[in-house]
A = this chain, B = another copy of it.
Amino acid sequence: MKQYLKHDAWKIIEEGFTPANNRISESVFSIGNGRMGQRATFEEQYSGDTHQGSYVAGVYYPDKTRVGWWKNGYPEYFAKVLNAPSWIDIDVSIEGEVLDLAKAKVENFKRELNMQNGLLTRTFIATLPSGKRIAVDAKRFCSMADGEVGAIRYAITPLNFSGNLSVVLPVDADVENKDANYDEKFWEEIYKSADIDRAIVIAETKKTKFHVCTGINFLTKENDKVKPVVAKSETRDKYAAITFNYDLKENITFSIEKYAVVLSSENHKKDLLVSAAEQKLRSIKTEGFDRLFDAHQNNWLKRWQGADITIEGDIAAQQGIRFNIFQLMQTYTGDDERLNIGPKGFTGEKYGGSTYWDTEAYCLPFYLGTTDEKVARNLLVYRYKHLQKAIENAAKLGFTNGAALYPMVTMNGEECHNEWEITFEEIHRNGAIAYGIYDYIRYTGEEKYLTQYGLEVLIGISRFWAQRVNWSADKKKYVMLGVTGPNEYENNVNNNWYTNLIAAWTLEYTQQAIDFVKIDDKAAYEKLVKKVSFNEKEETAKWSDIRTNMYLPEDSKRGLYLQQDGFLDKELLTVDKLRKEDRPLNQKWSWDRILRSCFIKQADVLQGIYFFEDRFSFDDLKRNFDFYEPMTVHESSLSPCVHVILASVLGYKEKAYEMYLRTSRLDLDDYNNDTEDGCHITSMAGTWMSVVKGFGGMRVRDGKLYFNPFIPDQWKSYSFKVEFRGRVILVNVSKASTDIKVISGDPLEIIVGEEKELA
């Protein structure tokens, strides 16, 4: 844990330069626009500890898998987010001295990320070894208005001298992934060119053959007035640059505006990349930094309108929640159904793949609540487009007849992960994908989605469940053996309650979907039946048998749902009995010890109760929460939010707030000592849920919006906005009152507490 960032309602601020924190700051101050982004590394050269990382959404590399012991069915490769060609570098030398903060005396250093408008600013005064002092003001953004555009304004003021400045403005595709399994580089050069006013490199990923075309041009100014320079060009392998010299005059500010375009073959024909890049480069240079920034800023302001959460009386919490929302919004903008929410977004490259069950279980509600319905819908369509791959994935594991098992981790629909206990057994992810469809329709009311895409996915998943269970002659029930539930601190267990529950629910929901689609669009239904060779009578009869005879382990004496068979054989301890030096368990205990202990990594039975809340009584919830919560170590960042939501229902205000604190500033305060690798993007959605569904008690039932807010004692007031069926609703909660109103769109019946009101 490190708390060196200043508290501010809208800004992340680092004052003073501490090289030891540099990598953490590089993660936290990352900027992106859904299409591309990069860590907050310096424009000028830096020989200290840094992790240069630029990323382009959807561009990945299938790195050869590394395993100790191969198991049949493992994927051949692990799709990795790629460290992409960099456009941010501005190499600066003054009278032959390189500007390098590792070698200069640095004063007045300030790094600032304005979350309201997505502008990264860095200012400092550097004294070079020769004694020359310069002031630098560097501003950078990745345009939210045009995902292929970025810009930097880098202003240098010589404070105690006049002298020659030498500048190199490169596009550098000679980059590597820190997490490469076999120390390979993943890019090859396809094209490069540089002349006096632009430099372009097209790099191709090995194997996947993505082309990324990165181009830059520039403009120079003296005290804000355009001041042309005589430029040259320079190229080497995977590298093209413009270089120039300029005579700095004492106290006269010289600015370099570097404009960049990043175009990928995902969105352009490969042979048109260069001309498209050139055209766009011309146009953005004409537009200029300020107008580009205006468009960018306006886009951010609009996004905040539907998504902001305010907290009064707790500036750290205010900053924390906005940081979470900011990161989510710049990671995924939802206008491309081929993209998804990577676990590190554009802030680092740890963990491969981009898509986990986090998307459906945690992120979907955030995007549903904060932006246009289309955004969440695209997340569903993403899975629809991967259905064939999910069927192939299941076939690899021996399933037949169109049964679909979605991957645990994926980039393109194929499985990337390779631990058998997760890859093959953590199959509850399939349930979350079905639940995502349900959750989307519940929120938006767009049942039509079932007809267009949803039912086909549901049939694939239901077929999987039907084959994955087996009849236990002993229990006279259907059982599901050898699974790993959401609580990954158990592996290969039998009858994980959550998994069995969501499997049975999927079978039921699929039946409802069939019933709906048959009425909604008979022809579409018949087409689908044919397409997937659906034997409705036989298959649904089997499904019905399974869901009514599914075994769900219980301790009826205590009124508990059992996480899995045999849970009560464990030594039932509570987290408060653990020694401090044993935490976190996954760094201190061997795996077998973790497995046989009762300690729970993340909500499991409670995740099930959260998903299907309406099926359980208050007393059910209370008994199970009181039993499982004290055993839960929350060593997954995805866990606390569910506990906040359930504790809120139970009126456990202190517990809810305690859990909330665990997530809201996870990265800002480097809680787990790993922020330097990148931020925990998907769990940020959990923080949002903690406020909106937890403290705010938001629910949708039968097409109606419910709130049941309370306010943590530590806060004066808080407010949040949600988008719901064409409206924006503003919820204001203070100690004294709750105020809920529709601030945009038609009036809406809203149920607060359990009292209805028209807002």
Give the B-binding residues of A (Cβ under 8 A).
65-69, 71-73, 396-398, 418-421, 424-425, 470-475, 479, 481-482, 491-495, 565-566, 568-572, 586-593, 595-596
- Choose among B420, B474, B587 the residue that contacts A569 (Cβ–Cβ < 8 A): B474
In the complex, what residues of B have CB within 8 A of residue A495's CB?
569
Distance (whole angstroms) from the CB of A302 to the closest CB of chain B? 42
- Contact across chains for A591 and B481 when beta carbons are under 8 A apart: no
- Contact across chains for B472 and A420 when beta carbons are under 8 A apart: no
- Choose among B71, B470, B471, B565 the residue that contacts A591 (Cβ–Cβ < 8 A): B71
In the complex, what residues of B have CB within 8 A of residue A471's CB?
571
- Choose among B494, B568, B593 the residue that contacts A473 (Cβ–Cβ < 8 A): B568
A398-B589, A571-B470 given as contacts; is B482 within 8 A of A595 (CB)? Answer: yes
- Contact across chains for A420 and B66 when beta carbons are under 8 A apart: no
In the complex, what residues of B have CB within 8 A of residue A566's CB?
481, 494, 565-566
Give A72 to B481 CA distance when docked, in angstroms: 26
Distance (whole angstroms) from the CB of A186 to the closest CB of chain B? 19
A568-B474, A569-B475 given as contacts; is B482 within 8 A of A592 (CB)? Answer: yes
In the complex, what residues of B have CB within 8 A of residue A68's CB?
65-68, 418-419
- Contact across chains for B591 and A72 when beta carbons are under 8 A apart: yes
- Contact across chains for B67 and A595 when beta carbons are under 8 A apart: no
**Identical chains in the assembly:** 2
Distance (whole angstroms) from the CB of A696 to the closest CB of chain B? 38
- With A73-B591, A397-B593, A398-B593 given, name 6 new contacts (CB 8 A): A66-B67, A66-B68, A72-B588, A473-B572, A475-B569, A492-B493
Least CB separation from A493: chain B residue:
B492
Give A113 to B493 CA distance when docked, in angstroms: 51
In the complex, what residues of B have CB within 8 A of residue A565's CB?
565-566, 569
Distance (whole angstroms) from the CB of A533 to the closest CB of chain B? 23
A481-B596, A491-B492, A569-B474 given as contacts; is B71 within 8 A of A590 (CB)? Answer: yes
- Contact across chains for A492 and B494 when beta carbons are under 8 A apart: no
- Contact across chains for B69 and A591 when beta carbons are under 8 A apart: no
A419-B69, A566-B494 given as contacts; is B590 within 8 A of A424 (CB)? Answer: yes
- Contact across chains for A595 and B492 when beta carbons are under 8 A apart: yes
Give A587 to B419 CA distance when docked, in angstroms: 17
Give A587 to B396 CA distance when docked, in angstroms: 12
Give A710 to B419 CA distance when docked, in angstroms: 48
In the complex, what residues of B have CB within 8 A of residue A595's CB?
481-482, 492
Distance (whole angstroms) from the CB of A567 to the closest CB of chain B? 9
- Contact across chains for B494 and A569 when beta carbons are under 8 A apart: yes
**25 sampled A-B residue pairs with Cβ under 8 A:** A67-B67, A68-B418, A68-B419, A71-B591, A72-B586, A72-B588, A72-B590, A73-B592, A396-B590, A397-B590, A397-B592, A397-B593, A398-B589, A420-B590, A420-B591, A420-B592, A421-B492, A424-B591, A470-B570, A472-B570, A474-B568, A481-B595, A482-B595, A492-B492, A566-B566
In the complex, what residues of B have CB within 8 A of residue A481's CB?
566, 569-570, 595-596
In the complex, what residues of B have CB within 8 A of residue A572's CB?
473
Least CB separation from A587: chain B residue:
B72
In the complex, what residues of B have CB within 8 A of residue A419's CB?
68-69
Distance (whole angstroms) from the CB of A475 to the closest CB of chain B? 6
Give A65 to B474 CA distance when docked, in angstroms: 43
Listed from nearest, the 9 A-B pairs whose CB atoms lie closest are A73-B590, A424-B592, A474-B568, A482-B596, A481-B596, A472-B569, A67-B68, A397-B590, A420-B591
Distance (whole angstroms) from the CB of A416 to the closest CB of chain B? 11
In the complex, what residues of B have CB within 8 A of residue A479's CB?
569
Give A71 to B593 CA distance when docked, in angstroms: 12
Least CB separation from A480: chain B residue:
B596
Give A593 to B400 CA distance when docked, in angstroms: 13
Least CB separation from A475: chain B residue:
B569
| Best-surrounded residue of A68, A398, A494, A570 (most CB of chain B within 10 A) | A68
Distance (whole angstroms) from the CB of A443 to the closest CB of chain B? 34
Least CB separation from A566: chain B residue:
B494
In the complex, what residues of B have CB within 8 A of residue A491's CB?
491-492
Give A592 to B420 CA distance when docked, in angstroms: 7
Give A571 to B473 CA distance when docked, in angstroms: 8
In the complex, what residues of B have CB within 8 A of residue A493's CB?
492
Give A566 to B492 CA distance when docked, in angstroms: 12
| Best-surrounded residue of A421, A481, A482 (most CB of chain B within 10 A) | A482
| Best-surrounded residue of A475, A479, A590, A595 (most CB of chain B within 10 A) | A590
- Contact across chains for B592 and A425 when beta carbons are under 8 A apart: yes
In the complex, what residues of B have CB within 8 A of residue A67's CB?
66-68
Distance (whole angstroms) from the CB of A556 to the closest CB of chain B? 13
In the complex, what residues of B have CB within 8 A of residue A593's CB?
397-398
In the complex, what residues of B have CB within 8 A of residue A592's CB?
73, 397, 420, 424-425, 482
Give A68 to B586 CA distance when docked, in angstroms: 16
- Contact across chains for B492 and A398 when beta carbons are under 8 A apart: no
Least CB separation from A71: chain B residue:
B591
In the complex, what residues of B have CB within 8 A of residue A586's CB?
72
